[in-house]
Amino acid sequence: MQNEFYDITILGCGPAGLSAAINATIRNKKVLIIGAEICSPPLHKAQKIDNYLGVPGVRGEELLARFMEHALDMGIEIISTKAEAINEAEGVYNILVKEEMVKSKAIIIATGIPYKPTLPREEDMLGRGLGYCATCDGPIYRGKDVLLIAHSSEAESEANYMAEICRKVYYLPLYQETMELDPRIEIINGKPGEIIGSDFVQGLKLKDGSEIRVEGLFVLGGETAPDRLIPGLEISNKHIKVNRQQETNLPGVFAAGDCTGPPYQVAKSVGEGQVAGLNASKYVGRK
Amino acid sequence: MQNEFYDITILGCGPAGLSAAINATIRNKKVLIIGAEICSPPLHKAQKIDNYLGVPGVRGEELLARFMEHALDMGIEIISTKAEAINEAEGVYNILVKEEMVKSKAIIIATGIPYKPTLPREEDMLGRGLGYCATCDGPIYRGKDVLLIAHSSEAESEANYMAEICRKVYYLPLYQETMELDPRIEIINGKPGEIIGSDFVQGLKLKDGSEIRVEGLFVLGGETAPDRLIPGLEISNKHIKVNRQQETNLPGVFAAGDCTGPPYQVAKSVGEGQVAGLNASKYVGRK
């Protein structure tokens, strides 16, 4: 992956992402899929799928395994992580993944059901004491108290870094795994409720009513809203706006599957993935 | 089928039509498919399909058989014929099929790759000596010479009827089967070239240059253009115009698959069929 230049990078390894990938690969495009550990949790949990034509009465997990096998048999490169940030420069997209930069001529977003923020008013408070990258904003909170809400253990290294520069670090994990945390960090067991403070963050109220007063609040490892991931991306009714060619408003950026709107169904996602994969291939061919 | 009232009638038994049918059936809708003998000739002929996710490296004919099996296992009613005419009255669609009338609350058009006229200038000459229904227009040509271009043996009974009332009937079959034709009919072996006559039909020129002078010309058993089949249907660039919900401009009329535009691919058709099937079911539920 390192320093590689891909034709098409696909975000998401569910039905839409995998369908886009096999279609672009057949068109001889160099494809990278950046996906989560479990591709498409809703399909993974489905007891029985009976409406994907030609494959009647199949468990979701089994269908997903068949999809994955189809893609892997074609030699498609899949990495289990997420894109941190995407920026465009001179017609090329730079994708920050695990502190490395991947270059790609086109992007297909196939990230599934729409993004939900972790906290109410999260978007309003962004930059007002709330952040998504402790490593980036850390220096602002030197000598102050901060609370980190963590969706996965990947946030632990960020917490440890904050423990070195902040007065007090609270850590609220939303996952169940062993932790390697600096002993100075105080672990909070509870569910996040709401942000305290109107102009600036003053703390976090938990679901049990207790309050933790801090000046900085971070949500780490959560899903990134697509329009924050790719600045300027047009959203309509919480979904990525696409036309019938699966083109978004940004040149070279396509979207397919649940993230483009209902119905949230396998065949619809596979079909849109195909159209996105073929049209992204055409786009790359024209460049 | 006779005098039955369906929730959804689907025109076409290719990937889009069958996908629409299974999805509407799962939604408890009463579904009829009106399809050709061979559902989706392009897929039927395909040597190898490798881009329908989850079913790698399959012959087109085999994939089509699996699709059909999925639909038949759900008990979906399929009849091998074509819709002659469709008219709407008081929110119900009346579909003329084999001289019977079928009623349906909603229609899904999934008729495949766009209609191509049999002859150049066919549309211009319609009603000017050119027709699609000999039985209907026959009386106009009593005692005159006519030529019938026939796409299938179903046209033979029309030809025999014309032989009784016309002076001379020429019959140009575009199919290879045994025929049961009135001995007064003259069979033409050749390929139709172009229509002779500008204001009115004066005859037909064959590809070999020979000419047959007639006052009436019929094209029988050919595909019917969707906007002639359903008057008022909006066409854009030779394809049925649909939005992302697979709705056409007419209420209760949906379209899916190749007839809505490229790419002409299986997954795209199956996906669109699903969306059309689910949205037609919603439409019927609201009525």
Choosing from A167, A189, A220, the residue where a domain stops is A220
Residue ranges of alpha helices (H) inside B31-166 are: 41-45, 60-73, 122-125, 134-137, 156-165
Residue B81 structural domain: 5-115+224-286
Residues A172 and A242 in one domain: no
Cβ-nearest to B51 among A22, A265, A268: A22
Task: Please name the residue of chain A whose CA is at the shortest distance from the CA of residue B24.
Answer: A51
Task: Please name the residue of chain B whose CA is at the shortest distance from the CA of residue A55.
Answer: B70
B276 min Cα distance to partner chain A (Å): 10
Strand-pairing partners, residue B34, are: B11, B79
Tally A–B CB contacts below 8 A.
Answer: 109
Residues A37 and A89 in one domain: yes
Residues A158 and A238 in one domain: no
B274:A51 CB<8 A: yes
Torsion of CA A234, A235, A240, A241, to 10 degrees: -70
**Residue numbers in A near B268 (CB within 8 A):** 271, 274-275
Question: Token digits for B195?
Answer: 């229509």
Strand-pairing partners, residue B85, are: B96
pLDDT tens digits along A73-94 = 999 999 998 898 999 999 999 9
Residues A230 and A129 in one domain: no
Amino acid occupying residue A11: L
pLDDT tens digits along B126-154 = 889 999 888 778 889 999 999 999 988 88
Percent of chain B with pLDDT over 90: 77
Give the number of other CB atoms < 10 A from CB of residue A243. Answer: 11
Residues A110 and A11 in one domain: yes
Residue A279: HSE in the Cβ half-sphere, 13 Å Cα cutoff = 25
Residues A28 and A166 in one domain: no
A246 min Cα distance to partner chain B (Å): 10
Task: Please name the residue of chain B whose CA is at the shortest distance from the CA of residue A16.
Answer: B53
Distances (CA, A) of A248 to A7, A41, B23, B40, B246: 17, 25, 28, 31, 19
Residues B84 and B26 in one domain: yes
Using the predicted structure, report yes or no on whether residue B96 has a pLDDT greater than 60: yes
Using 50, 70 and 90 to split pLDDT, how confident is the model at B116?
Answer: confident
C-alpha to C-alpha distance for A192 and A220, rounded to whole angstroms: 13
Residues A216 and A144 in one domain: yes
B48 min Cα distance to partner chain A (Å): 13
A272:B274 CB<8 A: no
Residues B161 and B142 in one domain: yes
Contact criterion met (CB below 8 Å) for A39 and A64: yes
Q: What pLDDT sits at residue A98?
A: 83
Residues B149 and B266 in one domain: no
Residues A131 and A32 in one domain: no
Task: Please name the residue of chain A whose CA is at the shortest distance from the CA of residue B62.
Answer: A54
Cβ-nearest to B19 among A53, A260, A272: A53
**Residue numbers in A near B272 (CB within 8 A):** 271
Separation of CA A160 from chain center: 23
What is the DSSP-derived secondary structure letter of residue A274? H
Using 50, 70 and 90 to split pLDDT, how confident is the model at A33?
Answer: very high
Which of residues A135 and B39 earns the better pLDDT score? B39
A74 min Cα distance to partner chain B (Å): 10
Supply the CATH number for residue B27's domain. 3.50.50.60
Percent of chain A with pLDDT over 90: 78
Looking at the structure of chain A, the number of domains it has is: 2
Q: Which positions ≥6 away from B150 have C-beta within 8 Å?
A: B156, B159, B171, B172, B173, B174, B175, B220, B221
A53 min Cα distance to partner chain B (Å): 6
Residues B183 and B147 in one domain: yes
